[in-house]
Amino acid sequence: MELHLHPYKNLTYPYAWSPYFDTRQVISAEAGAFQRRPPLATLDLYNSPFNVDVRKPRQIKRVPILCHNVRDARQTGFRLIADPTGAVAFEEQLGDDEACKRFLTRLSSPDNPFFNESSGVRCDADRFYADRLDRPNLEVSGTTLGLFSAEPSNYGSWLFRVIPKLAIAEMLGIKDYKVACWCPRPFQRDLLQFFGIESDRIVDVEMTWSCNYENLHVPTCLNPEAFLNETTLNFVQSALKRHGIVQARRRLIYISRISHARAKNYNNVRFFIDESRLVDELASKGFEIVEPEKMSVREQIEMFANAACVVGASGAAMFNTIFSPAGTLVYDIEAFPYWLHAHSNYFSSCGHNYVIAFGSQDMTDASGSHRRWTIDIDAVSRQIDVLLQAAL
C-alpha cells in the first residue's frame, strides 16, 4: 500500500517486471573487449607513477547497446529516471541489484553535491526515496529521447556521452521525437544542431526540476571509460559527410587555455605556468594558436577535421579530436592523473597516434585537482620536432 500511495518513497531497480518498461537491445556486443593502444611515446621528466600504467596495452570491456522505453516517466537531476512504481531506469547498463544500490547510494550522498548529481535522492533506513519526483515542474507529451548524462555541462562529456545517444534513436527508427537535456549553453545547442536536432525539438531541463514524460526513451551510455565504439565513430563520420566536411591532415594546432585562465583570475583552472613560452615555441614551428572558446562549434569541427597535429594541455577541447582524421598526431600534456585513463582511451579509440607528456603540479596551490602546473618547455619542443619530422 505504501508503494501505491508514495511511489517515489521506495526507489528500486526491478525494471524487468515493471509494466511501464520496455527495454530493447539494439546491438549485441561482441564477445571480448576493445584493446587500448599505448601511446606512441611519452615524456616523463618528473617520474610520474602513472606513466607505467599508460604505457601498457589495456582491455576495455564492451557493453550492450540498450534503450529503456519508460511510459509515464519521472526524471530529476543529471540522469535519474523512475516509473510510477518507483522502479529506476538508469542511463548506464546496471546488471544487478547491488550495482543499482551503489548508484542510488552515490546519488543520496548529501555531503557531496558532485556525486549527488542534483538528484534529490535521500536514504532512510536503507530505503531510497526522492520526494521531488512527486511534484513535477514540467509535463512533456509525445515521444522524447533522454540525453541525460554525468557532467552535463562539460563539452567533452557531450561528445562521448550525450551526442552518441542520438545514434541509438537512429538505429531504432524512433521518429518525431523531442530531446530532453540540460541545455543552457550555446555549444550544447550548436552540437545538437550539427547532429540534426533543431532548437524547436529541444526540451531544456533544469537540473533541480522534476519532469514527467508521456513516453521517454532512455539510451544507455555507448562509450564507458571514454572509449568510443564503432557506432559512435560511424555516427560522427556520417555527420561530417552530411555537412560536406572533408577530413585532411594538414594543419598544426595548439589549443591554448590562457584566456580562460585570465578570465578566472588564474584560480582553480589548472593554470599552465609556462604556457606563453610554449606558445612562442610552437608558433615558430608553424602552429596555429587557437582558443576554442572564442570559436563557434562549426569552426572548431572544421579546424579539427583538418588537423595533422594537435598539441594541448588536458581539457575539454582535446575531445574535438573525434573530428580529426585517424592517424592525427595528438600531443597531450597531462599534469593530473584524474583524466589520464579516459583521455588515453579516447585518443586510442579515434585511431590517433597519441603522445603523453607528463607535467608537474605546484603542490603549494590549494586548488586541489585544479592546481597550477608546469612542464619543461625545451624538452617538449624537442620531442615535438622529432615527432613532426617522423609523422610529416
What domains are there in the chain, each with its CATH number? Answer: 2-29+64-224 (no CATH), 251-391 (3.40.50)
Please name the helix (run of DSSP H) or strand (run of DSSP E) that holds residue 217, with its range, or none.
Answer: strand 210-219
Cβ atoms of 36 and 58 within 8 Å: the answer is: yes
Res. 382 pLDDT band, cuts 50 70 90 = very high
Residue 178 above 80 pLDDT?
A: yes
Entry field: residues in the chain: 392
pLDDT of residue 97: 67
Judge residue 236's burial from the number of C-beta atoms within 10 Å of its C-beta, 0-12 exposed, 13-18 middle, 19 or more buried: buried
Q: How far apart are CA 71 and CA 50, in angstroms?
A: 46
351 versus 112: which is more confidently predicted?
A: 351
pLDDT of residue 96: 59
Find how far residue 259's CA is from the centre of its chain.
23
Angle at 200 between CA 176 and CA 81, to 5 degrees: 65
Q: How far apart are CA 382 and CA 373, in angstroms?
A: 20
pLDDT of residue 370: 75
Average of per-residue pLDDT across 324-340: 92
Please name the helix (run of DSSP H) or strand (run of DSSP E) that holds residue 292, with its range, or none.
Answer: none
Alpha helices, DSSP H, located in the chain: 2-5, 51-54, 97-107, 113-116, 155-157, 165-172, 186-194, 230-242, 258-263, 275-284, 297-304, 340-349, 377-391
* Mean pLDDT, the chain, whole residue set: 87
Q: pTM (2 decimals)?
A: 0.91
Instruction: Tell me the pairing of strands 65-76 and 127-129.
Output: unpaired
pLDDT of residue 305: 98
Q: DSSP letter at 132? A: G
Give the range among 99-108, 220-229, 277-286, 373-382 with minimum mean pLDDT: 99-108
249 versus 361: which is more confidently predicted?
A: 249
Best CA proximity match to 256, nearest among 304, 292, 303, 307: 292
Q: What are phi and psi of 298, to 5 degrees?
A: -60, -45
CA-to-CA dists, residue 91 to 131, 316, 376, angstroms: 21, 22, 42
Average of per-residue pLDDT across 18-40: 79
pLDDT of residue 76: 92
Average of per-residue pLDDT across 66-91: 89
Res. 85 pLDDT band, cuts 50 70 90 = confident
Cβ atoms of 75 and 182 within 8 Å: the answer is: no
Res. 32 pLDDT band, cuts 50 70 90 = confident
Sign of CA dihedral 348, 349, 353, 356: negative
Percent of residues, the chain, with pLDDT higher than 90: 56
Give the range among 27-31, 162-166, 195-199, 289-293 with minimum mean pLDDT: 27-31
Contacts of residue 221, Cβ cutoff 8 Å, sequence gap at least 6? 63, 91, 92, 93, 149, 161
